[in-house]
Amino acid sequence: MEEKLLNTSRKIIHIDMDAFFASVEQLDNPAFRGKPVAVGGSRERGVVAAASYEARKYGVRSAMPSKTAYQKCPHIIFTPPRFDRYKEVSSIIRSIFLEYTDLVEPLSLDEAYLDVTENKMGMASATLIAKAIRKEIKEKTGLTASAGISINKFLAKIASDYQKPDGITLIGPEKAISFLEKLEVDKFFGVGKVTSKKMHDLGIHTGLDLKQWTKEALKVKFGKAGAFYYDIVRGDDQRPVNPNRIRKSLGAENTFDYDLIEIDDMKMALDPILQTVYKRLEKADTFGKTLTLKVKFKDFSQITRSITQTDYITDSDLLKQLTFNLLEQITWPDFPEGVRLLGVTCSNFEHDEAEENTTKSGYQLTIEF
């Protein structure tokens, strides 16, 4: 089968702030600078929402129980999250993006895609734009950001994580295919631990290995995701940067470093997840009627439990209460002992009937990166 010609016409940047929540805390409190900091619960109770790079050196990660983080790093500094402050800094960063292009697609408070194929500055080089944005972020906020530049969203996302923190990586059109072929499948955005293990068991360790499989064979092994894997390893990602994307759902989830057994531990682990979900709903200025709890067990099996309210869920306390109710209604003896992931999603929004504009524009230009 003849492969599609690689689309090299777009210039996409992915900006990802470095350890954003923890970095803001270190910025605002000089006593925290250069020290291991965890944003989240106290030392004895709660869950780490974010960890500074100094804390990560000790193995502290987000979604880890605070008690475990303290065991790994006894001198770690715990500080409660300040979402209003993070949102304030995020707004400054967003305004910088908009100086260069209106095609900005935020993924969260600390990361976004930018399409700079045509930009407000008239700059031919996406790399120079990324450098200018990172410099301006540093000057205006005191924080560092990592940037990835490439021909599509998938490659730009991978590139931004390649030289973290405070790094910039270009995967140019001429290097895209060779880069993907050499890349370990574990590094592919969208390939998690379970899929990675399954790929390894099938002898798929790199992009080149993945490329040997037909689309039909990958779909048999991985379902609909198989077609996605087939395309991305060939550099084929046509998703536009969409600043007006209509969300059908908003949620968050965390995978834990060790299996949770007790309901109280699960509730503590859900706290930062629920905070994130509520802040995302507030930021999107939309609320849903349907709440879904996702539970994945230690054997990787999973279940979901949902409830739909008559009115929109606009109160954070109600969001927590409904989630905890769903958790308590699960008949635990029917499932494997030990929970490795919890997730919460809100859906059934007011605008669900609206159609998303998916118009794509195409270019056939030779462009400078």
- Segments making up each domain of the chain, as ranges: 20-82, 175-245, 249-349
b/e map of 202-219 (b: 16 or more CB within 10 Å)?
Answer: eebebbebbbebeeeebb
Phi, psi of 161 (to 5 degrees): -95, -5
Instruction: Render pLDDT for 147-189 as a digit per residue (tens, 0 to 9).
Output: 999 999 999 999 999 899 999 999 999 999 999 999 999 888 7
Per-residue pLDDT of 187-198, as tens digits, reads: 887 787 788 899
User: Minimal CA–CA distance to 100: which of 144, 170, 149?
Assistant: 149
111 is catalytic: yes
Residues 6+ apart with CB under 8 A from 44: 66, 67, 70
The answer to whether domain 175-245 has CATH 2.70.98.10 is no
- Compute the residue count for the chain: 369
Dihedral over alpha carbons 20, 21, 22, 28 (to 10 degrees): 100
**How confident is the model at residue 45, as a pLDDT?**
57
pLDDT digits (tens, 9 = 90+) for 218-239: 999 988 889 999 999 999 998 9
Q: How far apart are CA 302 and CA 294, in angstroms?
A: 7
> What pTM was computed for the model?
0.69
Model pLDDT, residue 368: 55
* Residue 352 in this model has a pLDDT that exceeds 60: no
- Asked if CATH classification 3.40.50.720 holds for the domain at 20-82, the reply, yes or no, is no
Long-range contacts formed by 202-211: CB under 8 A, 24+ apart: 206/181, 206/182, 207/180, 207/181, 207/182, 207/183, 207/233, 208/181, 208/182, 209/185, 210/185, 211/181
Residue 192 is given by DSSP the state: -
Q: Is residue 348 predicted with pLDDT exceeding 90?
A: no
Give me Rg for the CA atoms of the chain. Answer: 21
Measured CA to CA, the distance from residue 192 to residue 252 in angstroms comes to: 15
Q: What is the pLDDT of residue 86?
A: 92
Predicted confidence (pLDDT) at residue 70 exceeds the cutoff of 60:
yes
Report the pLDDT value the prediction gives residue 205, as an integer from 0 to 100. 96
Correct CATH for 249-349 of 3.90.700.10, 1.10.1740.10, 3.40.228.10, 3.30.1490.100? 3.30.1490.100
- Outline where DSSP puts E strands in 35-186: 37-40, 48-51, 77-79, 104-108, 111-115, 145-150, 168-170
What is the C-alpha separation between 267 and 261, in angstroms, rounded?
11
pLDDT, average across residues 56-67: 88
Catalytic annotation, pick one of 3, 111, 328, 337: 111
- Residue 357: what pLDDT? 32
Mean pLDDT of 280-294: 87
Give percent of the chain above pLDDT 70. 91
Residue 165, classified by CB atoms within 10 Å of its CB into exposed (0-12), middle (13-18) or buried (19+), is middle
